[in-house]
Amino acid sequence: MGETYNLPFFTAQSPDEKRIPELRRELRRHEYLYYVSDSPEISDVEYDALMNELKQLEAAHPEFVTPDSPTQRVGGKPTEGFRKVAHSRPMLSLDNAYSPEELAAWDHRVRALAQPRHGKAVEFDEKSTGDDWPQVIAEFDEEMRIAAQPLPIDYMAELKMDGLSVALRYEPVENGSARFAIGITRGDGQTGEDVTTNIRTIHSVPLTVSAVQLAAAGLPPAFEVRGEVVMPQKAFVRLNEEREQQGLALAVNPRNAAAGTLRTLDPSVVAQRSLDFYAYFLLVEGEYWPQGQRATLNALATLGFRVNPRHELVTSIEEMTRFIDQTEADRSSLGYEIDGVVLKVDAYETQRRLGFTGRAPRWAIAYKFAARSGITQVNSITVQVGRTGKLTPVAELTPVFIGGTTVSRATLHNADFIERLGLKLGDWVSVERGGDVIPKVVEVLEDADHPRGKQPFVFPSECPECLSAVVRTKGEVDFRCVNADCPAKLRESLLHFASRGVMNIEGLGKAVVQQLLEHNLVHSVADLYSLTEEQLTSLDRLARRSARMLLEEIDRSKKAGLARVLMGLGIRFVGERTAELLAEEFGSIDALRAASAEELERVEEVGPRISQAILEFFAQPANLALIQSLKNAGVEMTAEKKQRSAQLAGLTFVLTGTLPTLTRDEAKAKIEAAGGKTAASVSKKTSYVVAGDEAGSKLDKARELKVPVLDEAGLLALLNAAPFTN
């Protein structure tokens, strides 16, 4: 395979000098045949004999052990924690479709956005006449020419593996090959955890890629592969059998088992769990490989990665639906968990034109299979208290296996939901995993095989945690505990504050938070920043090393930024998107606190309900004291304020239809940058409706209300302060 090794202490005639690289090549070949292509040529006994021979030779000559040797998949001491690593580019999530209609709507949007950008094409044509045609071609930017061309719309249909997304980086070595350097979990999409040692134990991950393979794939020796770590169903069953024999709690599903295994600190344990890796993305210098998705999968296979063989190029909704239906029919026989099908635009140039939203690529979508259901019995109903004091009833069920997961609890939402169902203790119910994730009760059964229960459930009048009275605000369906000192609210607030999508404090989980409360060490989230090593080491199962790592995480979170702090404060209705918009608009917590309802409602997606919740939050002295405590602890509460002009201040726009050259997001961004606001629906308060091709009911509504209508040219003229006519 073109490998050479510099073994300076061997003689030129040493048999060991030849045998070590031969054994490594042979073992890598058999690993590929067994773990990737499922076509082994030798028995396990023969493989073990080759491995033992290599181990003996390397033990005799330890100075020649290389990191990519097959003997080094498992080695070294258990790690003491996982360091954080920034991704080369964000690992984004995908938008979802749950029906053929939603998939067809996505396909329609893709095809509309992939059409030639006519404005650019016209400009190109105007200059491209006569003898100067070659010169004009040379002067035009590549982006301009691409924009004037129709782009292909083919999709690569792939299985949506239900596992843990990871990024694997490879670096060049002296002989022209590439060596596995680092493996990173998805984390929050921006930053993940270094799980290199554990990834090395997965046999379907090549530790080295030869120069020959790189040349065949057309890749440089520095690249990144993204894919999914999964636990095969057989391995999952075996794991639970072992846990049952040991008297341990059973793993819930293969996805959680894979995630938990990959974050196990002892690589020898990881090696026993038979994890697998399927590759589906390829990046070079932090950018997607520009050959397209089909070529990417072929290149990954050439490099020696396991690529799921069930993928197909499709060109129409009919072909997509056929692939989806066939996949769902075969789902139970695959040997691993999937929860849908992913459709990706194949051509790279089309992907570039479509671009990204804030959280997902426009050129890909996940078609999620319908929720799986099961029938079981309600044994009791418990009530949980959330960080806002909301009381949520939960059905405690006889365990039932639904879609690869054992379900023993399911949400009942609120008291009204229980009343509508007529649910009683002992009832038999149908339970679904909504979106294949959250279990929920959907109906009560009543027939000869499923007799009704007898005991009705009475919603508690007191908080189950602090025994304070609960209240139900007029017009709301939820009961809430209004005791500011309720320990359940504080516990959930701490867990929310530390969660990955908020302040991302690794290591501050349920067990640690519960002990902090029991030892009376924290009374608010601000108290986290005054914890000491001595206090933490007094807790059960928290050694000095772990305590130091937790303190480092807490200290690092001080720089999470204003948007995440706003999420962490738990302001009602302020989620991730709203927090980011508020941070961009006001730039500091003090400016946000000083804002009026009118100023708040100028922010995109902030209406009267959200503005009122923000004003109520800042009107509470306890909340102001909490903010001051966080400031005193050094938590940063500022953000880079988005620069906007006042050109369109006070104007509200509604966008509808497909514009010739601007995507909806691009038009929206231009309006907001000029101080305007966009809204989702047309009302008498709407200043302008911007309409493109295939504008629908919003255009009709605008005409009905006599709201001025602009086309794209009119919008651009308004943005440029040029005169125009309606």
Catalytic residues: 160
Q: Name the nearest CA neighbour of 525 among 513, 507, 510.
A: 513
Residues comprising the chain, all counted: 726
Neighbour-count burial for 34-66, b at 16+ CB within 10 Å, e otherwise: bbbeeeeeeeeeebeebbeebeebbeebeebbb
CA dist 132 and 137 (Å) reads 9
The set of residues, in sequence order, having a beta carbon less than 8 Å from that of 15 and lying 6+ positions away, is: none
CB atoms within 10 A of CB 137: 12
CA dist 632 and 620 (Å) reads 19
- Long-range pairs of 694-700 with CB within 8 A, sequence gap ≥ 24: 694/112, 694/657, 694/658, 695/656, 695/657, 696/656, 696/657, 698/654, 698/656, 699/656, 699/657
CA dist 140 and 149 (Å) reads 14
Q: Name the nearest CA neighbour of 184 among 289, 106, 82.
A: 82
In DSSP terms, which residues pair with 159 in a beta bridge? 341
| Phi (first) and psi of residue 367, to 5 degrees | -90, 110
Q: In what order do the strands lie in the sheet with 709-710?
A: 677-679, 652-656, 688-691, 709-710
Alpha carbon separation from 437 to 52, 254, 261, 319, 506 (Å, rounded): 44, 13, 20, 27, 23
Q: DSSP 3-state assignment of 599?
A: helix
CA dist 120 and 143 (Å) reads 10
